Amino acid sequence: MVRSPSLWSFVGTAKPERRIALESPYPFPEVVGQLIETLSVACYHREDKQRDAAYSRAAFCLDVSPRLFDAFFNSSTGYRGGYFESPENGLRANRYLFDQLSGGLRVSAKRLDAKVDDAWLVASLSQPSAKAWLGEDVLALCPKCKGGWSTSYKADLPIQNGRWENSSHIHAEWGCQAPELAKIRLFGGYIDSAHDEWIAPHKESRAEQIWEHGWT
pLDDT digits (tens, 9 = 90+) for 13-71: 999 999 999 999 999 999 999 999 999 999 999 999 999 999 999 999 999 999 999 99
pLDDT band at 2 (very low <50, low <70, confident <90, very high): very low
Give pLDDT, residue 139. Answer: 87
- Overall average pLDDT of the 134-159 stretch: 95
Q: Which residues of 89-121 are buried (b: 16+ CB within 10 A; e: fewer)?
A: bbbebbeebbeebbebbbebbeeeeeebeeebb
pLDDT at residue 212 above 60? yes
Residue 92 near residue 82 (C-beta atoms within 8 A): yes
Give pLDDT, residue 41. Answer: 98
What amino acid is encoded at 68 in this protein? L
C-alpha torsion sign, points 183, 208, 101, 96: negative
Nearest-Å Rg of the Cα atoms of the chain is 17
Give pLDDT, residue 4. Answer: 47
Residue 188 near residue 59 (C-beta atoms within 8 A): yes
Q: What percent of the chain has pLDDT over 90?
A: 96
Checking phi first, is residue 32 left (phi over 0); if not, alpha (psi -120 to 50) or beta? Answer: alpha
pLDDT at residue 199 above 90? yes
**Residue range 99-134, pLDDT digits in tens:** 999 999 999 999 999 999 999 999 999 999 999 999
Cα 115 to Cα 109: distance, rounded to the nearest angstrom = 9
CA 1 to chain centre: 17
Cα 82 to Cα 75: distance, rounded to the nearest angstrom = 10
Cα 93 to Cα 72: distance, rounded to the nearest angstrom = 11
This model's pTM is above 0.85: yes
Give pLDDT, residue 121. Answer: 98
Phi, psi at 120, each rounded to 5°: -65, -45
- Overall average pLDDT of the 144-171 stretch: 96
The overall average pLDDT reported for the chain is 96
Give pLDDT, residue 7. Answer: 87
